[in-house]
Amino acid sequence: MSNNFEVATTISDAISSVNYSPAHSTNLLVSSWDQTLRLIDTHAGTSGRELLQIDSQAPLLDACFVGEDGKSAAAGGLDQGVKFFDLNRGQLTSTLSSHTSAVKSICYNTDLSTIISGSWDRTIHLHSPQSQTLTSSHTLPHKIFSLSTIQTKLVVAMASRSIYIYDLRNMSEPFQRRESSLKFMTRTVRCMPNGEGYASSSIEGRVAVEFFDPSKESQSRKYAFKCHRQPEDDVDVVYPVNALAFHPLYGTFASGGGDGVVALWDGVAKRRLRQYPKYPASIAAMGFSTDGKHLAIASCNGFEDGKETVPNPENRLFVREMGENEAKPKSMG
């Protein structure tokens, strides 16, 4: 049986990202609009413990661990800077680069030891964590909403339903340019752990599953489906799908919506495995631990349009402890 519990935090504004440490399966990196980056041990005591809190000097829209030891992080937000943090010292140590608009998405590529940031200014910046410098900048045709990377691939979801796929070893041109399978604005994109493809979600209650292999056979496997819709007064109310997270071992994935619901999907069998009891507010961000045993879930109201003024805002953090076979696809027995 799985167990769901709330983590005690002092976060005072919307949570923008949650990422478990690659080195410590219960250490969670949390970025938020309250201008802080936090490291939380979600399993210390009965309701977790904040290990550190760093002033980021501006609201953060995304963050990621850098490296495999869980000692460094990068983050970006409304002040346009890509920040580097030393988590051992609990310090913001440098600004790696500056965009000319907000940094919307940031990720770390393990294979090439590269920090990648994407901005509303239509540029991608690549950085070296070793030298803490900008190594290259690339201009794209539209605002960047979400980045995800696996192996040597980078998926960039942009405005105008545009998706570019790059080989990070050759950033001069994307090796694939695609139009999203979803008819409305992309909310987030996440790569499959096996490197075969990615899932994306939209503001209109849909998720698409796509594959990198351009062959006709592989492309025939792509599909999209409706989710996060609630019947109200005989009308289907459609909610944005704000968050996606792949299970690192099984390749199944969770989706989190504006309806406060988290669902677990088997992308290969094209079926829903679980739908969990509703959370108090919109799901803003999610992330599995590297061992797949924990799913962190940020629940924040007023998250539908990125940032709204909400009376009595609720910014709450939950952890679902996954049962042994809870995220396992039926095909694995």
Q: What is the pLDDT of residues 73-83, one digit of tens each?
A: 999 999 999 99
Residues whose CB is less than 8 angstroms from the CB of residue 89 and which lie 6 or more positions away in sequence, other chains included:
none
The enclosing H or E element of 219 equals: helix 216-219
Task: Note the pLDDT of residue 231.
Answer: 84
**Mean pLDDT, 10 residues at a time, the chain of 333 residues:** 85 97 98 97 94 96 98 98 98 98 99 99 98 97 98 98 97 94 94 98 96 94 94 88 98 97 95 95 98 98 56 85 92 75
In this predicted structure, what is the pLDDT of residue 1? Answer: 40
Q: Which domains does the chain have, with CATH numbers?
A: 3-305+313-322 (2.130.10.10)
Buried b (16+ CB within 10 A) or exposed e, 145-156: bbbbbbeebbbb
pTM of the model: 0.95
Identify the pLDDT of residue 309: 54
Which residue do the tokens 């879930």 mark?
297
- Minimal CA–CA distance to 95: which of 62, 69, 131, 133? 133
Question: Is-contact 114 64, C-beta < 8 A?
Answer: no
Please list, in sequence order, all residues whose beta carbon lies within 8 angstroms of the beta carbon of residue 333, skipping any fewer than 6 positions away.
none
- Rounded Cα–Cα distance for residues 108 and 150 (Å): 9
Which helix (H) or strand (E) element contains residue 82? strand 81-86
Cα dist. 216→106, 191, 210, 211, 267 in Å? 32, 20, 12, 11, 19
Residue 144 to residue 128: CA distance in whole angstroms: 21
- CB-based contacts of 306, cutoff 8 Å, min separation 6: none
Instruction: State the average pLDDT for the chain.
Output: 94
Token pair for 15: 């949570």
Contact 296, 42 (CB under 8 A): yes
What pLDDT is attached to residue 94? 97
Other CB atoms within a 10 A radius of the CB of residue 232 amount to: 8
